[in-house]
Structure 1
Amino acid sequence: MSNPISEAPEVDTGLVPYPPAAVERYRAEGLWRGRSLPHELTAALDRFADREGLITPEIRWTYGELLDRSRRFAAGILAGTDLRPGEPVMFQMGNVAETVVAYIGVLIAGLRPVCTLPQHGEREIGLLAQHVGARATIVQADHGSGETYRVARALHDDGVLPVAIVARGEAIGATPTLEWLSLLGADAPAPPAVVPDQIAVYQLSGGTTGLPKVAARLHEEYVHNSRVWAEALAYGGATRVLYPLPMMHNAGISLAVQPAILAGAQLVLAPSAKTSDLLDLIASERPTSLPLVPPAVAVRLLEDPRSRVTDFTSIADFVVGGQALPQEVSERLRDQLGIAVRQMFGMAEGMFLVTPAGAGEEIRHRSVGAPVSPADEVRIAEIGGDDEVPVGEIGEFCARGPYTIRGYYRADRHNRDAFSADGFYRTGDLARAHVIDGTTVYSIEGRIKDVINRGVEKIHAEEVEEIILRHPDVVSAALVAMPDPVLGERACAYLIVDEGAVAPTVAGLGEFLLGQGLAKYKLPERIEVVREFPLSNVGKVSKKHLRERIAETLAADQSAAAR
């Protein structure tokens, strides 16, 4: 059979290939194995066919059943649409079994998943489709209030996405539904092979803008990413991975779905990260691993009365990521729920770090761990440069290795700023290297753009937040810049306080922080008390929204004063 992907020329991607010497090294060391992502996944599904592999509140399938359904859908999508191998396919689906079938099926068909989120709107999906050249989308019609279906119908009617495949709902236009395509493909020929060094999956980096940042993940490196995570977490036949965040985000694919399949572990998909859903599944399914629990979810678990009567003893790895977890929260999880936290740091662009197995509490509490691949390279570089800073000093976290991308897809402007001349990805995260008990680990100290420029003074938000959390009445804190006509920026503290507690005043909080040894110029100059923080699609506190909110508040105050 001819290979349509290898015969079809790639569009001008703007991607920088891995250097030949690096490729030779990765393959010589067995990190890259010369096989495609669908080849590796289907081989694992076949190898573990008799194991119960995929569990949701609605289904319990063996990996053999999942493989059969995925193959049928792969054959059906090629037979029932005019899509051809190499084309990108948008995804707007939640944590249901059909999403896993569609993801694996699209890969088997030689198509390329574009991993958007159900929360993305018509404008965002339209921009991304244009950016990657997609003309097809797969949507879950009953997700939330049905917004994904409305987005797909609008873009279909506008001619942007003429091929709209619907799961759990009525067809849009002439394209058969996902369920019908799975039946149509029952006797279709096997889908074509794919080429390992071409694009496998498109992942999004940090949301969408007028110019989306798309991380194009290649077959061999994406397989290595997932396999090495499974090895770091010791996934195996006795592992049961519970994943509560959107599975089509890079974290869901490369921390849960693909590692579980490759290791023959069980994958339990939670419909959401609500504590009620998590506690129900912890009680019924007895998971051993919860990867990438956002700090906000960890705090909500502590606050939920049901947690006091839930047995958490099955959980060997409670992996917190998204942002640094305050030590006080880690200690409460340990003391109140019996959960020993492992912290992690990762990105759609590649590099993952995690607390090493068996690490002591100093490493668990003070760092996000060490890189998971033996070939990962980390450089803590001086801000605005490429020279490495000494151990213990703050710099920019830069990464390079066998699964860290070499450039964004069709984004020359981003790539000029985001990658060094020698191929290190500049993450924009402030970090320090630490040597603890002979192990080099890293702590994330905030974002470069999270530095508040108060005149000539620089305030690192993460440092101030950590000290604010020592206040007995403060549950959570987020420090953001607010515009100032004289100094450029001043610091505003958004606080969540204990129920029944009186929120501290600016003066009172300032006195407390000075007593903790914080410099006076770093003190917050405004306080906003809220019940909860706005979160991004992956559970991080959205400081972008907080900065916009305080700027709007100040503008409204000035307008009112002028009247």
Structure 2
Amino acid sequence: MLLDADHDASRPFPAERAERYVREGVWTGETLGDALRAAAVEHADRTALITVDDRLTHRELDELTECFAAGLLATTALAPGDRMMFQLGNVAETIVVYYGAIKAGIIPVCTLPQHGEREIGLLAEHTGARAHVVQADFRNRDLVHLGEQLAGNVDVLDTLIVARGPAPEGAHSYDDILTAGKGRVARERLAALAIDPAGLVVLQLSGGTTGLPKVAPRRHREYLYNSRVWGETLGLNPGSVVLHALPIMHNAGTVGALQPAHLAGAACVITPGAEPGPLLALIAREHVTVLPVVPPAVAIRMLEHEDARSTDLSSVTGFCLGGQRPSVELIERLESELRLPTRQMFGMAEGMFLCTPADAPEWIRRNTVGTPVSPADEVRVLDPAGEDVPDGTLGELACRGPYTIEGYYRAPQHNASAFTEDGFYRTGDLVTRHVVGGRDYYAIDGRIKDVINRGAEKIHAEEVEELLVHHPDVRNAALVAMPDPVLGERICAYLVLRSGAARQSVGSVAEFLLSQGLAKFKLPERVEVVGAFPLTNVGKVSKKDLRADIKEKIEKEGVSS
């Protein structure tokens, strides 16, 4: 089933607010592709992209992405409005394909190379994606074979593109597409293409997937503004060097690092992993100035690495902790031991970004994620009935603004509960608003959603539970977070087994889940078998009690060891 290009089934921005954003200059009428082209002309000879294998100027990156965009339209059956699944790592080809797709009007679905057959298949069917681009030499995974399997099993996927390796029969080669895009006719066709700034530019995943994926539809004008206002918050300029060590196709990678850097004429350094030794060496060698989204897990490893105190980190002007709440102790140690100017940030695929101002009082920088990055952002803190709570009171963060979505893609039932009648997105995050010096600051104090925050990855418990209960020996399953000093949280699976079933282990559970196509990063790292689950007073599984149980077990094990 192919979807019409305009059928994203998410509510458009209300006319009154859209007109206001245009009138106030928040939305400029540009597409993201045109803004990137303009920045490349202005900063042509400056370094734009640094990877393990490549170093490209803004002119070189722009030319490659123009060629790929033209080649896509010339050599494949894809047309503007079609969707493309991504399974590429942090390599230069990923950026070329991503920007090229955007310039060609092809809409990236920001999947990851770690996603399994199940996730890619569900998301392809949900978004109507026709194209699937894979990296042939991605570590420890045969993504080309996966692409061929999916092409045979998923009706909508009819275009396989292979980068960094040979393409099988019937698939398209990245290199061949680039070559075709250098032709005059292909470039003229691309130049004549008209893309609506109010139209879709990217489909981002919302932290993880469940049986019905939640997909955030991002539009050119708001995604461009999101990138620009975040870049302004970070103080990016043509001399900035931005380092991003997490998967670049995350929202944190594209709108948190890549696009802000390139729109500002800055350099973006992307790495294949977040190992502390190589990261420290890169910071010193490339004179990195800004690390825009650093999970506390990565920061802890850097802090504890043997080279941390001997590495020159003096170029860093912004070190933003995000992804999960850091401890006050971690912030203090980063600042005192490594002399890193630390800030906290909070962002989401749905839009809203918050950040502690660089000049904020110490208590604010230690204990809050700061304030919204745009003066046009609107925030409410709600009780369960949807009423506003007083300042200083815990409630649910709700937001709307010029870069927060108005609804999830093809999810009307979920949208009915996830958004208020006046368009505020109910995030599921629990916050407290603190008013200091006449300015609002927000402290993240937990979440309502049943999500495990494992380092930089958010795992929806429901997705894994749905698979576990199909195991022939499992009667019921509950996934909960267990505390971890490095990643913040790891995954523990509580199982109730059928009568006479074989004992289950981490290994046997992993083997079953992998056979169901689940991504490796979602696998439970501990299994607890119980006779029955504790229940709440309304008969639901009491995950609060399970979390307390595993925390107590871990603490006792720590004492005994």
Please show how residues 118-267 of structure 1 align to structure 2 within 5 Å. 118-158=113-153, 160=155, 161-187=157-183, 188-190=186-188, 191=190, 192-267=193-268
Q: Bigger relative contact order, structure 1 or 2, given CA contacts below 8 A and separation 6+? A: 2
Give the Cα–Cα distance (whole angstroms) in 2 for the partners of residues 166 and 100 of structure 1: 14
Give the Cα–Cα distance (whole angstroms) in 2 for the partners of residues 130 and 543 of structure 1: 22
Give the Cα–Cα distance (whole angstroms) in 1 for the partners of residues 172 and 485 of structure 2: 48
Letter in 2 for 1:163: T
Give the Cα–Cα distance (whole angstroms) in 1 for the partners of residues 62 and 292 of structure 2: 24
What is aligned with 1:66? 61
User: Are 1:388 and 2:388 counterparts?
Assistant: yes
User: Are 1:282 and 2:254 counterparts?
Assistant: no
What is aligned with 2:490? none
User: What is the CA distance between 1:159 and its match in structure 2?
Assistant: 5.2
Task: Show structure 2 runs of 5+ residues with no match.
Answer: 454-460, 466-477, 487-505, 511-519, 535-561
When residues 240 and 543 of structure 1 are mapped into structure 2, their CA distance, relative to the original with a 3 A threshold, is closer
What is aligned with 1:554? 530
User: Are 1:76 and 2:71 counterparts?
Assistant: yes
Answer yes or no: is the 8 Å Cα contact 1:431–1:443 preserved in 2: yes
Partner secondary structure for residue 186 of structure 1: coil
User: What is the CA distance between 1:135 and its match in structure 2?
Assistant: 1.5
Partner secondary structure for residue 200 of structure 1: strand
Partner secondary structure for residue 313 of structure 1: coil
Answer yes or no: is the 8 Å Cα contact 1:271–1:277 preserved in 2: no
Partner secondary structure for residue 241 of structure 1: strand
What is aligned with 1:304? 305
Please give the per-residue CA displacement for 1:34-88, whole angstroms capped at 9, x wherever unaligned. 1211111112122211111111121111100001111111111111111111101
| CA RMSD of superposed structures (Å) | 2.8
Answer yes or no: is the 8 Å Cα contact 1:87–1:134 preserved in 2: yes
What is aligned with 1:405? 405
Please give the per-residue CA displacement for 1:201-236, whole angstroms capped at 9, x wherever unaligned. 100002112100000101100000001001111110
When residues 88 and 557 of structure 1 are mapped into structure 2, their CA distance, relative to the original with a 3 A threshold, is closer
What is aligned with 2:430? 430
- More deviation in 407-416 or 275-284? 275-284
User: What is the CA distance between 1:416 and its match in structure 2?
Assistant: 1.1
When residues 495 and 257 of structure 1 are mapped into structure 2, their CA distance, relative to the original with a 3 A threshold, is closer
Letter in 1 for 2:356: T
Answer yes or no: is the 8 Å Cα contact 1:164–1:172 preserved in 2: no
Give the Cα–Cα distance (whole angstroms) in 1 for the partners of residues 93 and 522 of structure 2: 33
Give the Cα–Cα distance (whole angstroms) in 2 for the partners of residues 206 and 274 of structure 1: 22
Answer yes or no: is the 8 Å Cα contact 2:6–2:81 preserved in 1: no
Number of positions where the alignment pairs a residue of Structure 1 with one of Structure 2: 474
Give the Cα–Cα distance (whole angstroms) in 1 for the partners of residues 222 and 28 of structure 2: 9
When residues 178 and 357 of structure 1 are mapped into structure 2, their CA distance, relative to the original with a 3 A threshold, is same
User: What is the CA distance between 1:385 and its match in structure 2?
Assistant: 2.2
Give the Cα–Cα distance (whole angstroms) in 2 for the partners of residues 252 and 236 of structure 1: 18
Q: Which of residues 36, 48, 71 in structure 2 aligns to 1:53?
A: 48
Give the Cα–Cα distance (whole angstroms) in 1 for the partners of residues 245 and 81 of structure 2: 30
Task: Show structure 1 runs of 5+ residues with no match.
Answer: 1-7, 452-460, 463-479, 484-488, 498-529, 535-541, 559-563
When residues 81 and 10 of structure 1 are mapped into structure 2, their CA distance, relative to the original with a 3 A threshold, is closer
Give the Cα–Cα distance (whole angstroms) in 2 for the partners of residues 151 and 360 of structure 1: 51
When residues 439 and 118 of structure 1 are mapped into structure 2, their CA distance, relative to the original with a 3 A threshold, is same
Letter in 2 for 1:231: E
Give the Cα–Cα distance (whole angstroms) in 1 for the partners of residues 99 and 132 of structure 2: 15
User: What is the CA distance between 1:169 and its match in structure 2?
Assistant: 1.1
User: What is the CA distance between 1:388 and its match in structure 2?
Assistant: 1.0
Give the Cα–Cα distance (whole angstroms) in 2 for the partners of residues 296 and 248 of structure 1: 19
Please give the per-residue CA displacement for 1:383-424, whole angstroms capped at 9, x wherever unaligned. x22211111110000010000000000011211111011100
Letter in 1 for 2:410: R
Answer yes or no: is the 8 Å Cα contact 2:125–2:154 preserved in 1: no
What is aligned with 2:446? 446
What is aligned with 2:90? 95
Give the Cα–Cα distance (whole angstroms) in 1 for the partners of residues 32 and 445 of structure 2: 34
Give the Cα–Cα distance (whole angstroms) in 1 for the partners of residues 142 and 372 of structure 2: 38
User: What is the CA distance between 1:261 and its match in structure 2?
Assistant: 1.0
If the length of structure 2 is used for normalisation, what is the TM-score?
A: 0.80
Give the Cα–Cα distance (whole angstroms) in 1 for the partners of residues 170 and 434 of structure 2: 58
What is aligned with 1:421? 421
What is aligned with 1:26? 21
User: What is the CA distance between 1:436 and its match in structure 2?
Assistant: 2.4
When residues 287 and 253 of structure 1 are mapped into structure 2, their CA distance, relative to the original with a 3 A threshold, is same
Letter in 2 for 1:554: V
Give the Cα–Cα distance (whole angstroms) in 2 for the partners of residues 202 and 255 of structure 1: 15
Give the Cα–Cα distance (whole angstroms) in 2 for the partners of residues 184 and 118 of structure 1: 26
Partner secondary structure for residue 86 of structure 2: strand
Give the Cα–Cα distance (whole angstroms) in 2 for the partners of residues 544 and 134 of structure 1: 24
When residues 448 and 200 of structure 1 are mapped into structure 2, their CA distance, relative to the original with a 3 A threshold, is same
Partner secondary structure for residue 121 of structure 2: helix
User: What is the CA distance between 1:303 and its match in structure 2?
Assistant: 1.3
Please show how residues 344-363 of structure 1 align to structure 2 within 5 Å. 344-363=345-364
User: What is the CA distance between 1:544 and its match in structure 2?
Assistant: 8.4
Letter in 1 for 2:529: T
Give the Cα–Cα distance (whole angstroms) in 1 for the partners of residues 378 and 522 of structure 2: 30
When residues 86 and 494 of structure 1 are mapped into structure 2, their CA distance, relative to the original with a 3 A threshold, is closer
Give the Cα–Cα distance (whole angstroms) in 1 for the partners of residues 152 and 521 of structure 2: 35
What is aligned with 1:472? none
Give the Cα–Cα distance (whole angstroms) in 1 for the partners of residues 400 and 533 of structure 2: 47
Give the Cα–Cα distance (whole angstroms) in 1 for the partners of residues 292 and 375 of structure 2: 21
If the length of structure 1 is used for normalisation, what is the TM-score?
A: 0.80
Answer yes or no: is the 8 Å Cα contact 2:377–2:399 preserved in 1: yes
Answer yes or no: is the 8 Å Cα contact 1:26–1:32 preserved in 2: yes
What is aligned with 1:525? none
Letter in 2 for 1:390: P
Give the Cα–Cα distance (whole angstroms) in 1 for the partners of residues 20 and 343 of structure 2: 31
User: What is the CA distance between 1:193 and its match in structure 2?
Assistant: 1.9
What is aligned with 1:455? none
What is aligned with 1:526? none
When residues 199 and 496 of structure 1 are mapped into structure 2, their CA distance, relative to the original with a 3 A threshold, is closer
Partner secondary structure for residue 120 of structure 2: helix
Give the Cα–Cα distance (whole angstroms) in 2 for the partners of residues 380 and 220 of structure 1: 27
Answer yes or no: is the 8 Å Cα contact 1:226–1:254 preserved in 2: yes
User: What is the CA distance between 1:275 and its match in structure 2?
Assistant: 1.1
What is aligned with 1:35? 30
Give the Cα–Cα distance (whole angstroms) in 2 for the partners of residues 75 and 252 of structure 1: 25
User: What is the CA distance between 1:310 and its match in structure 2?
Assistant: 1.0
Give the Cα–Cα distance (whole angstroms) in 1 for the partners of residues 170 and 533 of structure 2: 53
Please give the per-residue CA displacement for 1:214-270, whole angstroms capped at 9, x wherever unaligned. 001011000000010011111101110001111111110001111111111111111
Give the Cα–Cα distance (whole angstroms) in 2 for the partners of residues 329 and 21 of structure 1: 44
Give the Cα–Cα distance (whole angstroms) in 2 for the partners of residues 128 and 397 of structure 1: 27
